[in-house]
């Protein structure tokens, strides 16, 4: 059995994360784990709620513990930590498991180096003899500062099928656009300006996908939407709806949701991701994802006019293989 600490599970009842980007990440992780460990049970444990006794028991009986994706690392675990580890300071001081291996994990936001307490916690729980897969070079630098040096900068596994992809925006390609906004990282004026630019450049329907549960309410508060509600078609909060749309519509993606954009790229959809935090910015720097800042109105205008060539995505295949080989070289 392999245990996976999984941000795609919202709770211990098996409900999916309210941010469907976590589910996009999990699907890529699951494909890779099934490839690496055929026939083995993959026990999923939510990262959003504290560990239970049954979870500690499963971890103790498993041969590997994988920490999978998302922003599970931070500089001060006592102040803010997206992994709801539980147990308070004593739980961090004396964790009940060791030898975990990172898989596509990132650091939450731009932060100062880890506190001594946090660095000690990570050194206690992470396997000293393993190579750890991280989302970007920024995460690798923070880990090395904490004394964890055997790190492979692999990117998020959701981009591993995108090596060499470069999908240019050409105004002749599509009349329709699919847009995503971010309910927890808002910029009402900036996001409204994005909607106005999209409405101006696309003659057809503006499809809106709510990757988070609050995204539709946020959209409905935008003046650009309120003045043009008939131009918008709202998809449901399910990945099935989004994937059906991407399979069957000739559209262009513009939005602030990183993994919504990555999923669109995986479906061959011309895409521009509007970065709102370190995740998109750092993966663009490392792997040339098509990302500009949300505040770059001139850059968005240039891309919408077809005047900006899409970068060619470069997946770090050597680093990915280095991480994989530690499980296969037995």
Q: What is residue 31's predicted lDDT score, i.e. its pLDDT?
A: 96
Are 14 and 135 members of one domain? yes
Residue 27's domain spans which residues?
2-160+317-328
Determine which helix (DSSP H) or strand (DSSP E) holds 320, and give its type and residue range: helix 317-328
Identify the pLDDT of residue 87: 79
Based on the domain organization, do 231 and 186 belong to the same domain?
A: yes
pLDDT, position 168: 77
Per-residue pLDDT 10s for the chain (330 aa) are 999 999 999 999 999 999 999 999 999 999 999 999 999 999 999 999 999 999 999 999 999 999 998 899 999 999 988 898 887 899 899 999 999 999 999 999 999 999 999 999 999 999 999 999 999 999 999 999 999 999 999 999 999 999 999 987 664 568 999 999 999 999 999 999 999 999 999 999 999 999 999 999 999 999 999 999 999 999 999 999 999 999 999 999 999 999 999 999 999 999 999 999 999 999 999 999 999 999 999 999 999 998 888 899 999 999 999 999 999 865
The answer to whether residues 148 and 184 belong to one domain is no
Q: DSSP for 203-257?
A: SS-EEE--SSTTHHHHHHT-HHHHH-GGGEEEPPSSHHHHHHHHHH--EEEEES-
- The answer to whether residues 45 and 51 touch, using CB atoms and an 8 Å cutoff, is yes
Are 271 and 261 spatial neighbours (Cβ–Cβ below 8 Å)? Answer: yes
Q: SS3 of 319, please?
A: helix
CATH code for the domain in which residue 291 is found: 3.40.50.2000
Contacts of 158 (CB under 8 A, 6+ apart): 24, 25, 27, 28, 104, 259, 262, 263, 266
Same domain? For 217 and 188 the reply is yes
203 and 69 both lie in a single domain: no
Angle between helices 239-248 and 258-266 (to 10 degrees): 40
What six digits make up the tokens of 277? 């935090």
| CATH code (residue 130) | 3.40.50
What does pTM read for this prediction? 0.95
Domain count, the chain: 2
Is 171 inside a domain boundary?
Answer: no
Token reading at 287: 């792997």
Say what the pLDDT of residue 274 is.
Answer: 98
The pairing of strands 271-275 and 100-103 is unpaired
Considering Cα of 146, then 147, then 153, then 156, what sign does the dihedral take?
A: negative
- Residue 85: predicted pLDDT: 82
Residue 13: predicted pLDDT? 95
Contact 162, 312 (CB under 8 A): no
- Whether residues 136 and 10 share a domain: the answer is yes
Beta strands in the chain (DSSP E): 2-6, 42-46, 64-68, 100-103, 132-134, 151-153, 176-180, 206-208, 232-234, 251-255, 271-275, 291-293
- Is the same domain home to 47 and 146? yes
Asked whether residue 167 is domain-assigned, the answer is no
152 and 206 share a domain? no
Q: What is the pLDDT of residue 171?
A: 47
* Integer-rounded Cα radius of gyration of the chain: 20
Q: Is 101 helix (H, G, I), strand (E, B) or coil?
A: strand
């Amino acid at each position: 059995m392999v245990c996976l600490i999984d941000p795609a599970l919202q709770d211990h009842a098996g409900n999916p994360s309210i941010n469907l980007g976590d589910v996009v990440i999990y699907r890529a992780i699951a494909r890779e784990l099934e490839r690496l460990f055929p026939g083995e049970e993959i026990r999923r444990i939510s990262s959003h709620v504290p560990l239970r006794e049954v979870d500690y028991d499963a971890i103790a009986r498993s041969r590997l513990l994988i920490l999978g994706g998302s922003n599970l690392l931070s500089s001060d675990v006592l102040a803010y930590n997206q992994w709801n580890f539980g147990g308070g300071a004593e739980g961090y001081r004396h964790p009940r498991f060791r030898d975990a291996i990172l898989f596509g994990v990132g650091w939450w936001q731009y932060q100062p180096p880890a506190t001594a307490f946090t660095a000690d916690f990570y050194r206690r729980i992470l396997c000293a003899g393993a190579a750890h897969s991280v989302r970007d070079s920024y995460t690798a630098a923070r880990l090395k500062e904490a004394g964890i040096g055997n790190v492979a900068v692999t990117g998020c596994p959701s981009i591993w099928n995108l090596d060499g992809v470069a999908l240019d925006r050409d105004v002749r390609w599509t009349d329709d656009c699919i847009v995503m906004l971010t309910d927890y990282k808002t910029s009402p004026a900036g996001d409204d300006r994005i909607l106005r630019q999209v409405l101006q450049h696309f003659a057809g329907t503006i499809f809106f996908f709510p990757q988070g549960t609050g995204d539709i309410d946020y959209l409905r508060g935008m003046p650009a939407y309120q003045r043009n509600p008939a131009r918008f078609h709202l998809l449901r909060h399910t990945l099935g709806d989004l994937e059906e749309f991407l399979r069957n519509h000739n559209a262009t993606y513009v939005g602030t949701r990183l993994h919504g954009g990555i999923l669109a790229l995986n479906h061959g959809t011309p895409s521009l991701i509007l970065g709102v935090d370190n995740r998109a910015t750092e993966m663009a720097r490392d792997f040339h994802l098509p990302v500009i800042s949300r505040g770059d109105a001139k850059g968005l205008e240039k891309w919408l006019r077809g005047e900006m060539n899409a970068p060619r995505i470069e997946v770090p295949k050597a680093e990915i293989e280095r991480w994989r080989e530690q499980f296969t070289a037995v």
